[in-house]
């Protein structure tokens, strides 16, 4: 199987995109896959989660995106068994700088293409927006993994998200498909969240599979402080680790399913 690129995408913030990107990527690596994680968010949460200080990174995905001469090579770090491209706040300038570039929608695809043969999976942590950075991530991707918070307000925005993905698929990249939804921050004892989960399953299961919900857990939030995947922190617990492993297993099997 050739390299598959996956955008972890939702225009809403705080839904668990970075946590899912980091931990699914880590467990794909544990499963002997060659993995590259890409931080495409100016907030650089994934960079911090991986134990790097964003402001100290001399070269990030930003420099590579805007350097048209191709002289800036991808700043690939190897951490916890996966490769990783960091970000920092400078990336916020990229949308304005790329707006007049030729074929700007394909810019990320262009810079990842030379290294894609080195990987089985590339996971892109997208920014919480429907702007140019998210667009170039979708164009570069084969699949979209969508975290959806189990709150009514979060389900309202899925129409815009789906419309964006479908436009990219129709107009630019016919290969693009939504590979799954992950309900997040779910508290099974909360009746409102139970109803929202049912609503998500009712409305979205015809679009793509609904994976097991990721619970709301203090351990997940606190684990980010350690700058390493959840399974390697003192806060880990078996139930959540198993979920991340199952997400990774699902992704591994997605393109090989009959």
Q: Are 214 and 230 in contact (CB under 8 A)?
A: no
Confidence of residue 240 (pLDDT cuts 50, 70, 90): very high
Rounded to an integer, the average pLDDT of 218-247 is 90
The more confidently predicted of residues 51 and 236 is 51
Residue 183 has pLDDT above 50, yes or no: yes
pLDDT tens-place string over residues 162-175: 999 999 999 999 99
What average pLDDT does the chain have? 90
With the C-alpha atoms ordered 243, 136, 164, 11, is the resulting torsion angle positive or negative? positive
User: At what angle are helices 158-171 and 132-139 packed, to 10 degrees?
Assistant: 50
Rounded to an integer, the average pLDDT of 226-243 is 91
Percent of the residues in the chain that have a pLDDT greater than 70, as a whole number: 97
d(CA 55, CA 226): 18
224 closest CA partner among 235, 237, 216, 211: 235
The more confidently predicted of residues 138 and 193 is 138
Residue 258 has pLDDT above 50, yes or no: no
Residue 220 has pLDDT above 80, yes or no: yes
pLDDT tens-place string over residues 23-71: 999 999 999 999 999 999 999 999 999 999 999 999 999 999 988 665 5
d(CA 10, CA 113): 24
pLDDT tens-place string over residues 110-165: 999 999 999 999 999 999 988 899 999 999 999 999 999 887 776 677 888 899 99
Residue 257 has pLDDT above 80, yes or no: no
180 closest CA partner among 83, 82, 252: 252
* All structural domains of the chain with their residue ranges: 4-250
Range with the poorest average pLDDT among 105-109, 152-156, 175-179, 243-247: 152-156
d(CA 53, CA 235): 21
Confidence of residue 188 (pLDDT cuts 50, 70, 90): confident
Provide the pLDDT for residue 69: 61
Tell me the DSSP string of 82-131: EEEE---GGGGGHHHHHTTSTTGGGHHHHHHHHHHTT-SEEEEE--SSSS
CATH topology for 4-250 is: Rossmann fold (3.40.50)
Provide the pLDDT for residue 52: 95
* E strand segments, the chain: 4-8, 35-39, 77-79, 82-85, 121-125, 143-149, 177-184
Provide the pLDDT for residue 193: 83
Two tokens, residue 109: 């695809």
Q: Are 35 and 25 in contact (CB under 8 A)?
A: yes
């Amino acid at each position: 199987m050739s390299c598959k690129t996956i955008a972890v995408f939702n225009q809403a913030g705080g839904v668990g995109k970075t946590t899912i990107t980091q931990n699914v990527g880590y467990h794909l690596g544990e499963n002997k896959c060659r993995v590259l994680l890409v931080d495409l968010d100016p907030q650089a949460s994934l960079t911090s989660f991986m134990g790097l200080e964003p402001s100290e990174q001399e070269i990030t995905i930003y420099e590579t995106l805007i350097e048209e001469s191709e002289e800036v090579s991808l700043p690939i770090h190897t951490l916890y068994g996966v490769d990783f491209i960091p970000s920092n706040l400078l990336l916020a300038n990229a949308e304005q700088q790329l707006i007049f570039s030729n074929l700007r929608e394909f810019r990320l695809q262009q810079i990842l293409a030379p290294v894609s043969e080195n990987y089985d999976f590339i996971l892109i942590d997208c920014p919480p927006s429907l702007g140019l950075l998210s667009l170039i991530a979708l164009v570069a991707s084969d699949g979209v993994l969508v975290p959806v918070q189990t709150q009514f307000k979060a389900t309202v925005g899925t129409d815009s998200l789906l419309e964006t993905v479908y436009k990219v698929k129709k107009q630019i990249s016919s290969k693009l498909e939504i590979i799954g939804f992950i309900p997040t921050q779910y508290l099974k004892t909360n009746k409102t969240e139970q109803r929202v989960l049912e609503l998500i399953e009712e409305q979205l299961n015809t679009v793509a599979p609904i994976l097991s919900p990721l619970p709301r857990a203090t351990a997940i939030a606190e684990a980010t402080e350690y700058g390493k995947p959840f399974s390697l922190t003192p806060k880990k617990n078996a139930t959540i680790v198993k979920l991340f492993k199952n997400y990774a297993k699902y992704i591994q099997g997605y393109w090989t399913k009959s």
